Structure 1
């Protein structure tokens, strides 16, 4: 009996020692923090003019600073995420809101979602054509309805009843996005063999899958919120819906672990449940946010054939950008006011 007690004591000490490094990793690094993204894809410096690069960086800076000011002044992560995303939705630079891409039928169909890490409540809308700021509609689905997701005409009707700004669909027209659709449709009509068509899709169309904006924030009260908004995929048909409005794929938040917003080839993010999987690895396997994000994006998603990336913040204020593409429009600010804005892989 005495020998058994000694063995138990030794084993207990051994496992207690093993737990020590994990406890050290759980120190608070930021009182509050915010990260944003404006989409990922084959974003190469050689294809970017100085003027265009400056425009993207200026808009990312405007968005991240808006969210940061809200958090710094004691506002909530919900307010910060919504307002930061509004700025990107109102810009024609990003595939969300004003800059939404066109479907095969030459319309704009937008999706968005948001999740509260404290309550695990969430809201999403899909396929709306006349709501100026889809992220706000998603938030109101979460706070003012018994549902999680509304779609199409019903989602637009709900947004109107809630007093959101409804615009004529022509508001979302931009020459750049419309020309992109026409180029793709013209290519589709060209007589190409199977291999040539596949090459065209791989090289010319793939980035049409990646346009999304998102934000994740941790506020001074320890609450994490994640939000994502998108115009979907250029030339999409049949009311296709990607990962952006799907809780667990495009958006997830849990105060016990982290908040995540995704951007990439939505079909793969749905199959891998990317956003939730990162949280689950932290919860069930004790991984850090960085380890979990790398495992999901660089291993699981990549093996499936998916491309894209995520932004994330954990409960201790650690911030992560993880992507397997050539670039991702992204920015972050911590509670010290340090700002980082990047576009290319570095």
Structure 2
């Protein structure tokens, strides 16, 4: 079967003025992931490559160009999950690491490497510990100022003066889901967090079960699923939305209905968010049943969500600017 990768630039509000730019970076990210798959790389390698493209573009809120904390610094979160092994790697509130997804990938991969004296390798590293780990393993580390884009600086100055953060306009968390030609899945996400966030704050992009989920451990006897969520991190953490979606889609009978039900019952109507007036969340989902029939789904409660997807057998990606028309939006593509 052909491999498939899909990426998103977040669920939130994307100004119509920049839709073309968002679509272009999504297409470039898809191509990077597909190139990895065509060269024999795994789904994990492919989502890493795709997210690096998204992190390097100042338009997104991940890596270079991330939202600034109240101390005017960039602190990033990222994670990767390998559905083949169920291994997860995450990093949170990390400074100076050029591509946080590379750190999350390294943490994920190194969990399969035995340590002396029976020591247990980390699943999640934050702050200075994450930076030290990145340096010791040869990842690219830069001066903090090199991660601040002009756009991020302008936003910081504007909202610092207003003292009122419009979070719904600044949720360009990025992510990717992938299924490789062997039928295994992986997912990834990366985020600079909310603008004017408290230093040290860690969002869903770093946390197990909240930002991503991937499971293809038993692809011959059960369905496989990969999920990457986006939106307000606190909302996604309190509902553990990625894992809830994965479990319901994996064990359900009709993926579009299963995703719709989870987003409605376990997010929009969640008791954990009962006092939240504007619930901001979205998800990008790949599902493959044991006959290797694949569906790509996405849904969001925010005004917009921009994404792209591509098969290894295709010449170019397909791109979508998904808009909300006063209701929860859900759609799917079948392969």
Using the size of structure 1 for normalisation, the TM-score is 0.81
Q: 2:296 aligns with which of 291, 300, 319?
A: 319
| Alignment-derived partner of residue 151 in structure 1 | 126
| Whole-angstrom distance in 2 between the partners of 1:206 and 1:297 | 18
CA contact (8 A) 1:125 1:151 kept: yes
Secondary structure of the 1:98 match is: coil
| Whole-angstrom distance in 1 between the partners of 2:167 and 2:48 | 30
Shift of 1:335: 4.5
CA contact (8 A) 1:42 1:325 kept: yes
Shift of 1:35: 0.7
Are residues 1:243 and 2:216 paired?
Answer: no
| Whole-angstrom distance in 1 between the partners of 2:65 and 2:134 | 20
Whichever structure has more helix as a proportion of its residues is 1
Using the size of structure 2 for normalisation, the TM-score is 0.84
Secondary structure of the 1:341 match is: strand
Whichever structure has more strand as a proportion of its residues is 2
CA contact (8 A) 2:71 2:199 kept: no
Shift of 1:238: 4.1
More deviation in 258-267 or 144-153? 144-153
CA contact (8 A) 1:215 1:226 kept: yes
Q: CA RMSD in A?
A: 1.7
| Alignment-derived partner of residue 32 in structure 1 | 3
Shift of 1:54: 2.5
Shift of 1:42: 2.0
How many residues are matched? Answer: 297
| Alignment-derived partner of residue 226 in structure 1 | 187
Shift of 1:32: 2.0
Are residues 1:281 and 2:252 paired?
Answer: no
| Whole-angstrom distance in 2 between the partners of 1:342 and 1:235 | 29
Higher Cα Rg, which structure: 1
Give per-residue Cα distances to partners, 1:132-176, cap 9 Å, x unaligned. 010010011112251110000010110111110011101111121
Shift of 1:321: 1.4
| Structure 2 runs not aligned, ≥5 long | 112-120, 217-222, 325-335
Shift of 1:239: 1.3
CA contact (8 A) 1:36 1:216 kept: yes
| Whole-angstrom distance in 1 between the partners of 2:201 and 2:161 | 21
Moved over 3 A (4+): none
